[in-house]
Amino acid sequence: MNQIFTPDVLTLEETAAYLRLPPDLIAKQAAQGHIPGRRIEDTWRFLRAAIDDWLRSQDSRVVLLQQAGALADDETLPQLRKDAYQARQRPETEERE
C-alpha cells in the first residue's frame, strides 16, 4: 500500500492540495483568520496538525459553505441542485405555515 508523506509544515499549495481547495481561497481564508496559518514575508506556512484540529473543530455546515464558495462560478451547480432536490422529492425552499 502506498502511503503519501505529508510534511508537518505545509506551503500554501500543499495546504490547498491537502484540503482540495483552490490556493487563492486558502490564502484569503488564512488572511482573514478563518484557517490557521502564518504569513512569513511573502509566503504562507501551515501546521498540518493545526489544519487537522481546525477541520475537526469546525461546524460541518460552515466548512461546507466555505467549500461551496470555491465552486460559486461553476455553471452546472443550479441544475445539479435542482436535480438533487427532485431526486429527494423535496422543495428547494421550506414552506412556512
Domain limits of the chain?
Answer: 9-88
Report helix angle 48-57 to 12-19, nearest 10.
40
Answer yes or no: is pLDDT of 66 > 70: no
Answer yes or no: is pLDDT of 62 > 80: no
Answer yes or no: is pLDDT of 57 > 90: no
Grid coordinates representing 28 are 484569503
At 38 the three-state DSSP class reads strand
- pLDDT band of 64, cuts 50, 70, 90: low
Helix (H) or strand (E) holding 40: strand 38-40
More confident residue, 90 or 24: 24
Give the pLDDT mean for 12-31.
Answer: 94
CA 43/CA 65 separation, integer angstroms: 26
CATH topology of domain 9-88: Multidrug-efflux Transporter Regulator; Chain: A; Domain 2 (1.10.1660)
